[in-house]
Amino acid sequence: MADLKDQGRSTTDNASDRARNVTPNTPGASTGGQQNQNRGMGGTNMGNPSGNTGNTTGNTTGSTAGVTDQVRQGAEQAFNAASEFVSDAKNKIGDWTSDAGKTARQVGDTVQQYAHDAYECTTETMMNFGGEVTNVVKKYPIQSVLVGFGIGLLIGRTVRST
Protein backbone atom coordinates (compact mmCIF):
# COMPACT_ATOMS: atom_id res chain seq x y z
CA MET A 1 0.00 0.00 0.00
CA ALA A 2 2.88 2.36 0.80
CA ASP A 3 4.32 1.66 -2.67
CA LEU A 4 1.07 2.80 -4.25
CA LYS A 5 1.10 6.01 -2.18
CA ASP A 6 4.72 6.71 -3.13
CA GLN A 7 3.98 6.05 -6.80
CA GLY A 8 1.02 8.45 -6.71
CA ARG A 9 3.03 11.15 -4.97
CA SER A 10 5.93 10.85 -7.40
CA THR A 11 3.55 11.04 -10.37
CA THR A 12 1.89 14.15 -8.95
CA ASP A 13 5.26 15.72 -8.14
CA ASN A 14 6.55 15.02 -11.66
CA ALA A 15 3.47 16.62 -13.21
CA SER A 16 3.74 19.71 -11.01
CA ASP A 17 7.48 20.01 -11.78
CA ARG A 18 6.70 19.85 -15.49
CA ALA A 19 4.08 22.56 -15.10
CA ARG A 20 6.54 24.76 -13.19
CA ASN A 21 9.32 24.21 -15.72
CA VAL A 22 7.12 25.07 -18.70
CA THR A 23 7.29 28.85 -18.14
CA PRO A 24 11.11 29.27 -18.17
CA ASN A 25 11.39 27.30 -21.42
CA THR A 26 9.19 29.67 -23.47
CA PRO A 27 11.17 31.43 -26.18
CA GLY A 28 11.31 35.21 -26.03
CA ALA A 29 9.21 35.55 -22.90
CA SER A 30 11.76 37.61 -20.98
CA THR A 31 13.46 39.21 -23.99
CA GLY A 32 10.19 40.54 -25.38
CA GLY A 33 9.54 42.39 -22.15
CA GLN A 34 13.02 43.91 -22.23
CA GLN A 35 12.58 45.04 -25.83
CA ASN A 36 9.33 46.78 -24.91
CA GLN A 37 11.04 48.54 -21.99
CA ASN A 38 13.89 49.72 -24.26
CA ARG A 39 11.44 51.17 -26.75
CA GLY A 40 9.48 52.95 -24.07
CA MET A 41 12.65 54.46 -22.59
CA GLY A 42 13.85 55.91 -25.89
CA GLY A 43 16.30 53.11 -26.68
CA THR A 44 18.06 52.44 -29.98
CA ASN A 45 15.33 50.21 -31.35
CA MET A 46 13.31 53.00 -32.95
CA GLY A 47 13.81 51.99 -36.61
CA ASN A 48 10.57 50.14 -37.38
CA PRO A 49 8.39 50.10 -34.26
CA SER A 50 5.29 48.61 -35.91
CA GLY A 51 7.16 45.68 -37.42
CA ASN A 52 8.95 44.79 -34.17
CA THR A 53 5.81 45.18 -32.08
CA GLY A 54 3.81 42.91 -34.36
CA ASN A 55 6.60 40.35 -34.35
CA THR A 56 6.95 40.45 -30.57
CA THR A 57 3.19 40.20 -30.12
CA GLY A 58 3.06 37.24 -32.51
CA ASN A 59 5.88 35.51 -30.61
CA THR A 60 4.21 36.18 -27.29
CA THR A 61 0.84 34.88 -28.52
CA GLY A 62 2.48 31.78 -30.02
CA SER A 63 4.53 31.11 -26.91
CA THR A 64 1.48 31.64 -24.70
CA ALA A 65 -0.44 29.08 -26.74
CA GLY A 66 2.53 26.71 -26.47
CA VAL A 67 2.69 27.20 -22.70
CA THR A 68 -1.04 26.62 -22.44
CA ASP A 69 -0.76 23.43 -24.48
CA GLN A 70 2.15 22.19 -22.38
CA VAL A 71 0.31 22.94 -19.14
CA ARG A 72 -2.81 21.22 -20.49
CA GLN A 73 -0.75 18.17 -21.51
CA GLY A 74 0.92 18.09 -18.10
CA ALA A 75 -2.45 18.30 -16.37
CA GLU A 76 -3.86 15.54 -18.61
CA GLN A 77 -0.85 13.34 -17.87
CA ALA A 78 -1.24 13.95 -14.14
CA PHE A 79 -4.96 13.18 -14.36
CA ASN A 80 -4.33 10.00 -16.35
CA ALA A 81 -1.61 8.90 -13.93
CA ALA A 82 -3.86 9.56 -10.95
CA SER A 83 -6.73 7.68 -12.60
CA GLU A 84 -4.47 4.75 -13.35
CA PHE A 85 -3.17 4.82 -9.77
CA VAL A 86 -6.69 4.79 -8.33
CA SER A 87 -7.76 2.02 -10.70
CA ASP A 88 -4.73 -0.12 -9.76
CA ALA A 89 -5.34 0.51 -6.06
CA LYS A 90 -9.01 -0.45 -6.44
CA ASN A 91 -8.08 -3.68 -8.25
CA LYS A 92 -5.45 -4.60 -5.66
CA ILE A 93 -7.83 -3.96 -2.76
CA GLY A 94 -10.46 -6.10 -4.50
CA ASP A 95 -7.93 -8.90 -4.96
CA TRP A 96 -6.80 -8.65 -1.33
CA THR A 97 -10.40 -8.71 -0.11
CA SER A 98 -11.18 -11.76 -2.23
CA ASP A 99 -8.00 -13.51 -1.05
CA ALA A 100 -8.76 -12.66 2.58
CA GLY A 101 -12.27 -14.13 2.26
CA LYS A 102 -10.94 -17.33 0.71
CA THR A 103 -8.25 -17.61 3.37
CA ALA A 104 -10.79 -17.07 6.17
CA ARG A 105 -13.01 -19.82 4.74
CA GLN A 106 -10.04 -22.20 4.48
CA VAL A 107 -8.95 -21.45 8.04
CA GLY A 108 -12.52 -21.96 9.28
CA ASP A 109 -12.79 -25.29 7.47
CA THR A 110 -9.42 -26.40 8.86
CA VAL A 111 -10.37 -25.43 12.44
CA GLN A 112 -13.69 -27.21 12.07
CA GLN A 113 -11.91 -30.35 10.83
CA TYR A 114 -9.45 -30.25 13.77
CA ALA A 115 -12.31 -29.83 16.25
CA HIS A 116 -14.18 -32.76 14.70
CA ASP A 117 -11.04 -34.94 14.83
CA ALA A 118 -10.38 -33.97 18.48
CA TYR A 119 -13.98 -34.76 19.44
CA GLU A 120 -13.84 -38.17 17.80
CA CYS A 121 -10.45 -38.94 19.35
CA THR A 122 -11.69 -37.94 22.80
CA THR A 123 -14.87 -39.96 22.38
CA GLU A 124 -12.93 -43.05 21.37
CA THR A 125 -10.44 -42.62 24.21
CA MET A 126 -13.16 -42.22 26.84
CA MET A 127 -15.07 -45.20 25.51
CA ASN A 128 -11.89 -47.28 25.62
CA PHE A 129 -11.06 -45.96 29.10
CA GLY A 130 -14.54 -46.81 30.35
CA GLY A 131 -14.27 -50.30 28.90
CA GLU A 132 -10.87 -50.85 30.51
CA VAL A 133 -12.06 -49.62 33.92
CA THR A 134 -15.01 -51.98 33.67
CA ASN A 135 -12.68 -54.87 32.85
CA VAL A 136 -10.38 -54.02 35.79
CA VAL A 137 -13.34 -53.79 38.19
CA LYS A 138 -14.68 -57.15 36.95
CA LYS A 139 -11.26 -58.74 37.32
CA TYR A 140 -10.39 -57.22 40.76
CA PRO A 141 -13.68 -56.29 42.51
CA ILE A 142 -12.46 -56.05 46.13
CA GLN A 143 -9.36 -54.03 45.30
CA SER A 144 -11.47 -51.70 43.14
CA VAL A 145 -13.89 -51.02 46.02
CA LEU A 146 -10.99 -50.29 48.39
CA VAL A 147 -9.32 -47.91 45.88
CA GLY A 148 -12.66 -46.14 45.38
CA PHE A 149 -13.10 -45.84 49.17
CA GLY A 150 -9.54 -44.41 49.52
CA ILE A 151 -10.04 -41.86 46.77
CA GLY A 152 -13.35 -40.80 48.29
CA LEU A 153 -11.70 -40.39 51.72
CA LEU A 154 -8.93 -38.16 50.22
CA ILE A 155 -11.45 -36.00 48.39
CA GLY A 156 -13.57 -35.63 51.54
CA ARG A 157 -10.58 -34.52 53.67
CA THR A 158 -9.50 -32.05 51.01
CA VAL A 159 -12.95 -30.48 50.79
CA ARG A 160 -13.35 -30.38 54.57
CA SER A 161 -10.00 -28.67 55.24
CA THR A 162 -10.61 -25.82 52.79
Digit-coded pLDDT (tens) for 29-85: 444 444 444 444 444 444 444 444 445 555 555 567 777 888 888 888 888 888 888
The C-alpha atoms of residue 110 and residue 117 are separated, in whole angstroms, by 11
**141-161 and 49-139 helices, crossing angle to 10°:** 120
Q: What is the pLDDT of residue 38?
A: 44
Query: pLDDT tens-digit profile of 104-123?
Result: 999 999 999 999 999 999 88
Q: pTM of this prediction?
A: 0.35
Q: What is the pLDDT of residue 37?
A: 44
Q: State the Cα angle at 127 between 122 and 132, rounded to 5°.
A: 125
- Is-contact 35 52, C-beta < 8 A? yes
Cα distances (Å, whole numbers) of residue 61 to 53, 57, 68, 154, 156: 12, 6, 10, 108, 108
